[in-house]
Amino acid sequence: MAGKNFWVICIDYQPKIYEGAWGKNIQDKTKGSQFYRGFTSRIDAEAALNKLRDLDIEHVPAKVRQNVEEKENNLQNGQVIVFTDGSFKNGTGKQAAGWGYYGKYKKNDEINPLEDHGNVKGKGAKQVNGEITAALNAVQAAIDLGLQKVDLYCDFWNLMLWDCSFYESKKEVSKDFVKQMKDLESQIEVHFHWSPGHTGIPYNEKADELAKRGFDEA
């Protein structure tokens, strides 16, 4: 943390810039925050903060449900609303992660469900692998259907923070995700939304159920 005196910290789901060395004051602010990152200059911190402005960060389940209902009621041809999720359970001995997505799309003036599930197998497979695969597969499915716009909801912060380059993609798993998602985004308009998991949001609960099914089938 040496040399970093400007911090973008998301507290109570509101990202802001805070100034100071990595001492008790800044450390206390990061505790319980949703995410944070340090920078050596205010210019870099402001640039990072700007990357977050287009993200939808809604933490009140009732508001998420309302927003999704409004989007579904106003779906246009070529649009899809989809929730994605991953699943992993310790202690099972499985080297696999489940993935699932569920949503609705409109094509030829008809609204249809968009859903699928499966698993990722391999040494070291974890929750993150399921989350990534669910998001990539959901967007690819929308492209395959000839749709033009995806409202992508996830309860895993890193996906949207990697995608907007707020977080650096240092590991191969995140580098591969960004590379593949950017390729997909060149073919379709994608809007990321964060929503709280396990809070009774119907689409999210269905995606969670599908991801767990994918893991169980591994």
- Do 33 and 106 lie in one domain? The reply is no
**What pLDDT is stored for residue 58 in this prediction?**
86
Domain count across the chain: 2
- Do 134 and 208 lie in one domain? The reply is yes
User: Band of the pLDDT at 188, cuts 50, 70, 90?
Assistant: very high
Percentage of the chain beyond pLDDT 70 is 99
Residue type, 102: Y
Range of the domain at 13: 6-52
- Do 61 and 44 lie in one domain? The reply is no
Per-residue pLDDT at 166 exceeds 80 = yes
Mean pLDDT of the chain: 95
Domain contains 70: yes
pLDDT digits (tens, 9 = 90+) for 133-142: 999 999 999 9
Cut 0.95: pTM above it: no
| Terminal Cα-to-Cα distance of the chain (whole angstroms) | 40
Measured over the CA atoms of residue 18, residue 21, residue 26 and residue 30, the dihedral's sign is positive
Domain contains 131: yes
- Do 145 and 177 lie in one domain? The reply is yes
Domain contains 1: no
**What pLDDT is stored for residue 180 in this prediction?**
97
Min mean pLDDT across 6-20, 29-43, 51-65 is at: 51-65
pLDDT digits (tens, 9 = 90+) for 67-80: 999 999 999 999 99
pLDDT digits (tens, 9 = 90+) for 110-141: 999 999 999 999 888 899 999 999 999 999 99
Compare 52 and 106 and report the one with higher pLDDT: 106
DSSP string, the chain: -TT--EEEEEETTEEEEEES-SSHHHHHHHTT-SEEEEESSHHHHHHHHHHHTTSEE---HHHHHHHHHHHHHT--TTEEEEEEEEE--TTS---EEEEEEEEEEEETTEEEEEEEEEEEESTT--HHHHHHHHHHHHHHHHHHTT--EEEEEES-HHHHHHHTTSS---SHHHHHHHHHHHHHHTTSEEEEEE--SSSS-HHHHHHHHHHHHHHHT-
Strand partners, 149: 79, 189
